[in-house]
Chains A and B, each alone.
Chain A
Amino acid sequence: MTAETLRLSAARPRNLSLGRGLLIGLALLWLTLIVLAPLSVILVEALRKGLGAAVASLSQPDVWAAARLTLLTTAIATPLNAVFGLAAAWCVTRFDFIGKTLLMALIDLPLSVSPVISGLVWVLLFGASGWFAPWLNAAGLQIMFTPVAIVLATILVTLPYVARELIPLMQQQGSDEELAALTLGARPSAIFLFITLPNVRWALLYGVLLANARAMGEFGAVSVVSGHIRGLTNTLPLHVEILYNEYDFVGAFATAALLAVLALLTLVLKSFLEHRHADDLAARGRR
């Protein structure tokens, strides 16, 4: 190494550090404005009349009912979409078939239509004058304006997330390892369990977390199919709106804070897993 290059490499970090500081500062400023400020507004408003008032408004049975329904909906919608997303990604990246493009477009559809539409389609299918109304009436079944409709709407809205995370990765990975296992005589279930699943587990986790966050926070589609019956068909986001409209600002913001805490918990879980498996992640290039 000549003296020239030594000087250059010594000078580079110092030159960079100004730009780096600026960039970091800008990113932090932006984050503060867009994420931290609104988040702290929620907390400040929730605590405006003291911690006691916030806790009191959270201990209302209606809030608990809403939280239960939100968690139940998420607990049903997320695993179903994880299974569907895995199956769809497998299908799309490992096989060629007629209608593959159509299937991929359909998977993306819930992302591109407004959530209001994603709710309204269920009304048109299962509502009192919907397509299946005669059959449902004969069977004495009510789907619209019950938790079932809320789960259906949530599944539709969160359908793309897992598949969208998995497809690019599985395309990039290719099927070489699986083919090798096949030629060595591995059973399909073994190939899936010991090769496919481990290869995509991080992408799967991210997809599940995204779907989970969206399922908990969904407002538009759920609002259309809920019927807003207090204690029965109100999810947390709907309950926030109701409380706000009742001039119960402390209650509304306390409930919003509860929702934010639930979302933060999933983030903490993700960070914890990332931290624990940092080596594994580095070896796989972040995925």
Chain B
Amino acid sequence: MGGLTMDRRGLLLGAGGLALSGCAQPKGAQAALLNVSYDPTREFYRAYNEAFLARWRDDGGASFAVEQSHGGSGKQARAVIDGLPGDVVTLALASDIDEIAARGLIAADWQTRLPNNASPYTSTIVFLVRKGNPKAIHDWPDLLKPGVEVITPNPKTSGGARWNYLAAWADALRRPGGTEPSAQAFVTELFRRVPVLDTGARGSTTTFVQRGIGDVLLTWENEAFLAARELGPDKVDIIAPPFSILAEPPVAVVDSVLDRKGTRDRAQAYLSQLYDEPAQVLAAQHFYRPRNPVVAARFADRFPQIRMVAISDFGGWSAAQKRHFADGGVFDHIHQPGQRP
């Protein structure tokens, strides 16, 4: 019994002591802005934060810090719901921000508060293949050639994998004689060829490039560029299929946090300046497709022309989520966990 009360007092002492010692930080950090983002944006936001703060100081604003938190998009949304005090969220999927909005932390109309569905930059899904493209993979049907192993993360846990899945579905649908059943058959066959179903995009990249598993990796265009640059331009080639999907990673301010911290002005400036030319150039340099047409024209040779289907063609994220990825959805029918064909 004595041990128990001792323990409790110890806990309180520890928490109190730390609160005291940590006091200086939250005070200083109160003015700081926290950007809760997903995995592949680290490099872009590191550059953008610097540029944004420099401009803020030039405009005579009081100096403050921008802090970054990165992780899987769904996991980050969960952390914000559990109380991670992000002033802004910059995630991979609108449905992840919808989850936060559903708890009342973000205004329901968040996607119309900024231009372009609140997505200042876009990306798409491309193929990463072994150097020289030995299996001659150029288009979606090539993925089903005999002996081709495909690497993609699990659509249940990964935002990027949902784009992969929907792009494959849309491509099968647009083929002559394409129907819903033929699309389902195509996607079913595709996931039969996945030897390792990682939980996130970075995990799949590591599986493909570092561990050397598989013939083709389906991934974000920006992730493919980054992987090729960081892990070996001599090892992999990027193949842009003629048809893919328009991925729109959205951004939003977290209203409940801004009201509490009093950081609304700087948070809104932080997001709206993402649409300005300097930020658009930074986005393009970090392999995101810019929205600004002038910047897009300047980087045209970096981003090949691809015909793209949009998420609205699936009836929006909530419809696509319910139909394909929710429990009992189409993906549950085509892929039974633990069962490898």
Contacts and interface: CB of A to CB of B under 8 A. Distances in A.
A186 interface: no
B69 interface: yes
Interface size range of chain B in the complex: 35 or more
Nearest to B39: A245
Given A91-B3, A227-B79, A84 B10 contact: yes
Interface string A125-141: 01111100100000001
B3 A92 contact: yes
Contacts of A99: 1
Contact of A231 (B6, B67, B84): B67
Interface in A125-170: 126-130, 133, 141-148, 151-152, 155, 159
Interface string A62-101: 0000000000100011001001100110111000010100
Contact of A152 (B15, B67, B71, B83): B15
B42 interface: yes
Contact of B67 (A72, A128, A230): A230
A214 interface: no
A103 interface: yes
A56 B39 CA distance: 24
B6 A128 contact: no
A87 B69 contact: no
B69 A155 contact: no
Q: Which of B13, B43, B70, B231 has the most CB of A within 10 A?
A: B70
Nearest to A123: B82
A229 interface: yes
Interface in B3-52: 3-4, 6-7, 10-11, 13-15, 17-19, 21-22, 25-26, 29, 34, 39, 42-43
Q: Which of B4, B10, B26, B34 has the most CB of A within 10 A?
A: B10
Given A151-B18, A232-B25, A242 B70 contact: yes
A48 to B, nearest CB: 14
Contacts of B3: 84, 87-88, 90-92, 103
A173 B208 CA distance: 58
B59 interface: no
A4 interface: no
B243 to A, nearest CB: 29
Contact of B10 (A80, A148, A246): A80
Interface in B201-230: 202, 226-227, 230
B63 to A, nearest CB: 16
Contact of B4 (A103, A127, A142): A103
A80 B13 contact: yes
Interface residues of A, number: 43
Contact of B29 (A92, A123, A133, A232): A232
B2 interface: yes
A228 B22 contact: no
B311 to A, nearest CB: 26
Given A145-B85, A147-B22, A232 B67 contact: yes
Contacts of B2: 87, 90-91
B18 A229 contact: no
B81 interface: yes
Contacts of A143: 15
B68 interface: yes
A237 B22 CA distance: 21
A168 B39 CA distance: 47
A133 B2 CA distance: 29
A77 B34 CA distance: 28
B1 A91 contact: yes
Nearest to B75: A228
Nearest to A99: B1
B10 to A, nearest CB: 4
Contacts of A80: 10-11, 13-14
A145 B84 contact: yes
Contact of A84 (B7, B19, B26, B29): B7
A152 to B, nearest CB: 7
Contacts of B1: 91, 97, 99, 103
Interface in A6-62: none
A99 B13 CA distance: 26
A240 to B, nearest CB: 14
Contacts of A88: 3, 6-7
Contacts of A155: 10-11, 14
Contacts of B7: 84, 87-88, 159
Given A84-B6, A84-B7, A232-B25, A145 B14 contact: no
A246 B43 CA distance: 9
Given A148-B19, A245-B202, A227 B69 contact: yes
Contacts of B4: 103
A142 B83 contact: yes
Given A84-B10, A91-B3, 20 more contacts: A80-B14, A83-B6, A83-B10, A87-B3, A87-B6, A90-B3, A103-B4, A123-B82, A142-B85, A145-B85, A146-B22, A146-B26, A148-B18, A155-B11, A228-B69, A229-B69, A231-B67, A246-B42, A246-B43, A247-B227
Give 8 nearest A-B pairs by CB, closest first. Answer: A128-B83, A88-B3, A247-B230, A127-B82, A91-B3, A87-B6, A80-B10, A227-B84
21 contacts: A80-B10, A80-B11, A80-B14, A84-B6, A84-B10, A87-B2, A87-B7, A88-B3, A97-B1, A103-B3, A127-B82, A128-B81, A133-B83, A145-B79, A145-B82, A145-B84, A147-B25, A155-B14, A228-B69, A230-B67, A246-B42
